Structure 1
């Protein structure tokens, strides 16, 4: 095995005319992004109002199962340390995750399947229930049939602004691009534009740097249909992060979907600091601003098989932890976690990120990975 520093960003899919048009429009949109994008960064610190993460350790949990206590935590722990996130299975591949004392109406959720076999999980819906935040997750196998799976899930709701430097923002959009939830740590606002079937441009104003920097995560959300979403391209232009999201149906055709997208720079996926120990990377650009380790460790990726990648994150492996993965590129391929990440000393081993094509065969693909502890 060798350290992976750069590999292809997508393979042609000539059978999908909508996909081909989407790629062509994407290239035009990236070239057209210009200096009109801007945003000021107020100088008032903030943290997320509500946040939590959890890992489902069994695909068939008993009612009220407490999720893996080594891989869950949340903002509620500061005031209610005895409470834990729980899960109920409510159908084939369908789960109701309960984050206590986390109720909100302006948040986003991300979910990544954890399975050696081709599976994907998406958000079914989110809603407050009393003081709890519910995140319903639906998992599928190739072809779009519901199927049981393990997964890791994160939820965040934020308000306020941050000083220049670190950045955090998110959107939840409906299938025609209208914002349902939105947060921007620069106070500059976000915009989503529906550019075609399953094709969205996300502008996070005021969050960009002169160099491409930070990490993105995207997750499909749909209460009726199986969908997968990924980041097709991204750039930083005039102080704005531009992210282009592609969403697909089970056959790999581009299809409209609700989706959640989060951008974070020098902050973890849920936006809080502390924790002090977190890391993220973008597989095509190790060593640049998109490759960050809060303890100064050198993140690495090694090819461990066809479409399999071992990520090593030194010096940040402490206590309760979470990982999310999002595929990058213009094909219908998607990426999951093959097994739960492990801690060895203070090193985190993600063994492995595993990527599949629309038929369920393992296939090489680029990806975003983000990790955080709770300290």
Structure 2
């Protein structure tokens, strides 16, 4: 039986817009959750600027009324506008392709246009040819220090092999070192619990300001005391060889992928082949989520009791080869459960089994 049957219905503008990407005064330093954030799903990557994006898969810190919008500006190139949350080029963004044929997406840049935040996304076919592709996207910015016992969130943006900006809810440093061609040692200090135990979830997204194809992933990930140590590997999609690249990376433990908590009170994450605190759900706790293979290079992740109101998901591959993973098709809802289909590929775009890190969140 096919995966679709088993899951039942799984079914120049740029210059003008992005020239306004200037920093705005930050939010109060005592913020306990994300200061500003937005997430969305682009189901039709060919619509014109500024078409409203699907209401059931978008949410943000803006007041009720406005909607996230977007539109195609070039082959495979799409702008997403989050209303009334603009904060320049600060913060962190992620994007994951929603495609079963090996297409993948990257960030180009983000910045504010008036009061709005614009995220610029480029997608490709296997091998690096631009291609219109559905995708999920989020942007978030945080400040301040969280008290103990409410989880942790940290993020970093690496540009030209150095740390361009970072945030850590513990107040401890975030460090990045380019340790070899295409390999980066990222350390999120003091975010783990308990000491020495792998916990939380990591997401990585390649960024390329000239919209040339890149892919980045988790090479490996471990715990050193309370620190999360993440090795990021970036690859040339033409050859599969490692190459230096800009990227974003984030860590969230017992909080949503966009950094907020309470709301949302329905979120979870699961990384394979790890277990324990890398499989976490709120409100169900450690080990609540499940996953399994459905065919060569394809998997499903079940997030029980988490599909509430607007929802979003991100996926990142893990491993030392150029394989990569996408959301195979839009996740399904069964009552309050969410079932997320994941597809992984070789550098050439052929199905290939691979470990991955997945995360899912509702808006409430």
Question: With structure 1 as the length reference, what TM-score do the two structures score?
Answer: 0.85
| Residue 292 (str. 1) matches residue 280 (str. 2) | yes
- CA deviation profile, 1:166-194 (whole Å, cap 9, x unmatched): 01000001131x22221000101211101
Q: Give 1:21's aligned residue.
A: none
For residue 126 of structure 1, the aligned residue among 110, 113, 116 is 110
Q: Give 1:315's aligned residue.
A: 305
Q: Give 1:16's aligned residue.
A: none
Deviates more, 1:325-334 or 1:101-110: 101-110
| Residue 86 (str. 1) matches residue 73 (str. 2) | no
Q: Give 1:253's aligned residue.
A: 241
Q: Give 1:168's aligned residue.
A: 153
How many Å apart are 1:370 and its aligned residue? 0.3
Runs of 4+ in structure 1 off by over 6 angstroms are none
For residue 54 of structure 2, the aligned residue among 48, 62, 68 is 68
Tell me the secondary structure at the aligned position of residue 273 of structure 2: helix
1:337 and 1:49 map into 2 onto residues whose CA distance is 27
- CA deviation profile, 1:79-133 (whole Å, cap 9, x unmatched): x211111002110000011011121232111000001211000001111111111
Contact 1:142-1:358 within 8 A present in 2 as well: yes
1:45 and 1:107 map into 2 onto residues whose CA distance is 14
1:311 and 1:223 map into 2 onto residues whose CA distance is 32
- CA deviation profile, 1:213-242 (whole Å, cap 9, x unmatched): 100000000022210000011111122111
Deviates more, 1:44-53 or 1:363-372: 44-53
The alignment covers a number of residue pairs equal to 327
| Residue 139 (str. 1) matches residue 155 (str. 2) | no
- CA deviation profile, 1:149-170 (whole Å, cap 9, x unmatched): 0000011111001112301000
1:197 and 1:126 map into 2 onto residues whose CA distance is 26
Q: Give 1:109's aligned residue.
A: 93
Alignment of 1:1-375 (within 5 A): 46-76=32-62, 80-104=63-87, 105-165=89-149, 166-176=151-161, 178-209=162-193, 210=195, 211-224=197-210, 225-250=212-237, 251-273=239-261, 274-286=263-275, 288-296=276-284, 298-350=288-340, 352-375=341-364
Query: Which structure exhibits the higher relative contact order, with contacts defined as CA atoms closer than 8 Å and separated by 6 or more residues?
Result: 1
Contact 1:355-1:362 within 8 A present in 2 as well: yes
Contact 1:106-1:180 within 8 A present in 2 as well: no
1:180 and 1:128 map into 2 onto residues whose CA distance is 17
Aligned-residue Cα RMSD (Å) equals 1.3
1:175 and 1:359 map into 2 onto residues whose CA distance is 26
Tell me the secondary structure at the aligned position of residue 87 of structure 1: strand
Contact 2:31-2:143 within 8 A present in 1 as well: no
1:94 and 1:370 map into 2 onto residues whose CA distance is 25
1:181 and 1:261 map into 2 onto residues whose CA distance is 11
Q: Give 1:39's aligned residue.
A: none
Contact 1:106-1:158 within 8 A present in 2 as well: no
Tell me the secondary structure at the aligned position of residue 57 of structure 2: coil
Contact 2:240-2:347 within 8 A present in 1 as well: yes
How many Å apart are 1:205 and its aligned residue? 1.1
1:303 and 1:241 map into 2 onto residues whose CA distance is 28
How many Å apart are 1:45 and its aligned residue? 6.4
The answer for unaligned runs of 5 or more in structure 1 is 2-43
Tell me the secondary structure at the aligned position of residue 70 of structure 1: helix
